Amino acid sequence: MTVLEIDDPVFEGELNSAFLAQHAEQRTWQKGNLYYQDGRVKQLARQKNSLHAIVQGSQEYQVDLWYSDGVIGYRCSCPVGQREFFCKHLVAVVQAWIEHCRRYTKSNAPDFYPHDIQWLEQYLNGLMRSSLVDIILQQVRRDPELRRGLLDEGMYFEVSKENDE
């Protein structure tokens, strides 16, 4: 499973066993837990106040959860999820997120997770230029090393451009 974290934590305290007990029927929880244990959550990405995942069922299903105004919303592209029920794919994603939070608290989180670069490349290639600029500027404001590197790169580009003329 690939886990990509893009922004500050939102879901750590909200998506938990009590949330699953409230939203998933026992049989759905059991099936979803098996999906999680079987490694069917293929991608899991958090961006700001939402989680996005791909879960392998009889086909690949898109799963989304989001947090807004104190409420967690959800949807899945499977037939059950399309009827606005909390399906086994949603359970699998919540289980994956709970485990991720348990394993990777801020104090022991690795710098990056396996396969993140490949997933990130696909994700960024699908964004519009303005979205990319927004993401980069947001990170530059937080990361002085990234800011220096981009400024150095920009200065090098300008010097190279002048030398070419």
pLDDT per residue as tens digits for the range 45-66: 877 778 889 999 999 999 998 8
pLDDT of residue 139: 84
pLDDT of residue 4: 38
pLDDT of residue 118: 67
Q: What's the half-sphere exposure (Cβ side, CA atoms, 13 Å) at 106?
A: 4
Residue with tokens 């690939």: 2
Buried b (16+ CB within 10 A) or exposed e, 49-87: ebbbbbbebeeebebbbbbeeeebebebbbeebeeebbb
Residue stretches of the chain with pLDDT short of 70: 1-14, 104-119, 155-165
pLDDT of residue 13: 64
How confident is the model over 10-27, as pLDDT tens digits? 455 667 778 888 888 899
Residues 6+ apart with CB under 8 A from 64: 50, 51, 52, 53, 74, 75, 76
pLDDT of residue 143: 85
pLDDT of residue 116: 61
